[in-house]
Amino acid sequence: MSSPIILFGIELAAELNAATAARAAALPFTPTLATVLVGDDPGSAKYVAMKQRRCAQYGLGSRHVRLASDTSTAELIAVLIDLGADPDVHGILLQHPLPPQIDERAAYDAIPLRKDVDGTSSAAFAAAALGQPGHRSCTPAGIVRLLDHYRVELAGADVVIVGRSAILGKPLAAMLTARDATVTVCHSRTRDLATHTSRAEILVAAAGRPGLITAAMVRSGAVVVDAGFTPGDVSEEAAEVARAASPVPGGVGPMTIAMLLAQTVDAAQAVVGSR
Binding residues for NADP(+): 163-165
- Clarify whether 170 is annotated catalytic: no
Helix (H) or strand (E) holding 61, with range, is strand 61-67
Only one of the segments 22-30, 32-40, 78-86, 157-165 lies at the binding site for ligand NAP (rule: CB under 6 A); that segment is 157-165
Select from 57, 188, 195, 220 the one that contacts ligand NAP (CB under 6 A): 188
Q: Are 37 and 45 in contact (CB under 8 A)?
A: yes
CA distance 217 to 201: 12
CA distance 157 to 183: 8
- Clarify whether 118 is annotated catalytic: yes
Residues of this chain, 234-253, that bind ligand NAP according to CB under 6 A: 252-253
Nearer to ligand NAP, 59 or 247 (CB): 247
Contacts 24+ apart (CB under 8 A), 63-66: 63/32, 63/33, 63/34, 63/35, 63/89, 64/34, 64/35, 64/36, 64/37, 65/34, 65/35, 65/36, 65/37, 66/36, 66/37
Q: Which of 226, 229, 255, 256 is nearest to 240 (CA)?
A: 226
Which residues fall within 8 angstroms of residue 68, CB to CB, at 6 or more apart? 38, 39
The nearest distance, CB 197 to ligand NAP, in angstroms, is 9
- Clarify whether 95 is annotated catalytic: yes
By CB under 6 A, residue 169 contacts ligand NAP: yes
Of 109, 115, 116, 118, which is the active-site residue? Answer: 118
CA distance 45 to 274: 34
Beta strands 202-205 and 223-226, pairing class: parallel
Binding residues for ligand NAP, how many (CB under 6 A)? 25
Residues of this chain, 110-149, that bind ligand NAP according to CB under 6 A: 139
Nearer to ligand NAP, 168 or 222 (CB): 168
Nearer to ligand NAP, 54 or 84 (CB): 54
Q: Which residues pair with 203 in a beta bridge?
A: 160, 224
By CB under 6 A, residue 190 contacts ligand NAP: yes
Site string for ligand NAP, 52-91 (x = CB under 6 A): ----------------------------------------
Length of the chain: 275
Residues of this chain, 199-238, that bind ligand NAP according to CB under 6 A: 206-209, 212, 227-229
Nearer to ligand NAP, 165 or 177 (CB): 165
Sheet holding 158-162, edge to edge: 5-6, 244-245, 223-226, 202-205, 158-162, 182-186
By CB under 6 A, residue 191 contacts ligand NAP: no
Chain contacts with ligand NAP (rule: CB under 6 A): 139, 162-165, 167-169, 186-190, 193, 206-209, 212, 227-229, 252-253, 256
Residue numbers annotated as active site: 51, 95, 118
